[in-house]
Amino acid sequence: MKGPKRSLDVPKIVNAVLELLAEDPATVPTLRGVAARLGVRPNTLYTYVPDRAALEGAVVEHLLDLAGPAVLSGPAPWRERITAYALRLRAELLARPGAVPFFLSGPMNGPNAVLVGEGLLAAFAEAGLSPGDGARAAYAVIVHVLGSAALAAADLPGPGTDPEQVLLERRAALAAGPPLTSAASEVAAGWNSVEQFTWGINRLIDGCVPSLP
């Protein structure tokens, strides 16, 4: 190879994105911000990545991996494997709401996305689903994880707001609503809690996997 040595590579760039997210989890990183953190001019990144979308895709792939897709092929019973990965991916996303838009701004067709899909298919096959229903169920699980993460990210309180306080205000607002909303305000206010996420994904799995006839 001729020419000057490369000062960066895609993993380094992805890492810079994660650093920005670690410092300010709710802010969507920008190309220029990433470049600045790497001590480089913005257009330098175009040597390693064709455009912003590709960078986002790389970050998505990294996060899918960070959530540990290995658990999907682990020794645990199939349901636990699914819920475990779902919970971990959700946790990674909620820890970095600024990364959530990356998952929703382009197709998820990278290697790790395929790997996760395959893992889900395996789990659902083990549960007794046909390949077709397995595919539908796997997709439904992805929808549930990304959907609830996206809704949670959309509802972020301003920085430096007490979560407890937010919960109370949310509950009060719901309690002032129509009758059923008001009656369920206590539960409804905690829609973005781990408990309710777990409840939802388990009900989804229940519906996908018919219990004994």
Partner DNA sequence: ATAAATTTTGTACAGCGTACATTGTGCATC
Partner DNA sequence: GATGCACAATGTACGCTGTACAAAATTTAT
Q: Rule CB under 8 A: which residues touch a copy of itself?
A: 101, 103-109, 114-115, 117-118, 121-122, 125, 131-132, 134-140, 142-144, 146-148, 150-151, 153-155, 173, 177-181, 183-184, 186-188, 191, 196, 199-200, 202-208
CB of 46 to DNA, least distance (A): 6
CA 149, chain centre distance (Å): 6
CA-based nearest residue to 56, from 107, 22, 92: 107
| Among the residue ranges 6-14, 92-100, 156-164, 201-209, the one whose residues contact DNA (CB under 7 A) | 6-14
- Count other Cβ atoms within 10 Å, centred on residue 101: 12
Residue 63, CA distances (Å) to 27, 51, 190, 203, 212 in order: 16, 19, 25, 25, 36
Give the residue, chosen from 5, 132, 179, 180, that forms a contact with DNA under the rule CB under 7 A.
5
CB 82 within 8 A of CB 72: yes
CA-based nearest residue to 90, from 207, 195, 206, 205: 195
Give the tokens for residue 143.
């929808």
Task: List the x/- string, 21-60, binding to DNA by CB under 7 A.
Answer: ---------xxxx------xxxxx-xxx--xxx-------
CA-based nearest residue to 63, from 85, 78, 46: 85
Task: List the x/- string, 135-174, binding to DNA by CB under 7 A.
Answer: ----------------------------------------
Q: Which is nearer to a copy of itself, 3 or 158 (CB)?
A: 158
Give the tokens for residue 11.
């993993």
Binding site for DNA (CB under 7 A): 1-8, 30-33, 40-44, 46-48, 51-53
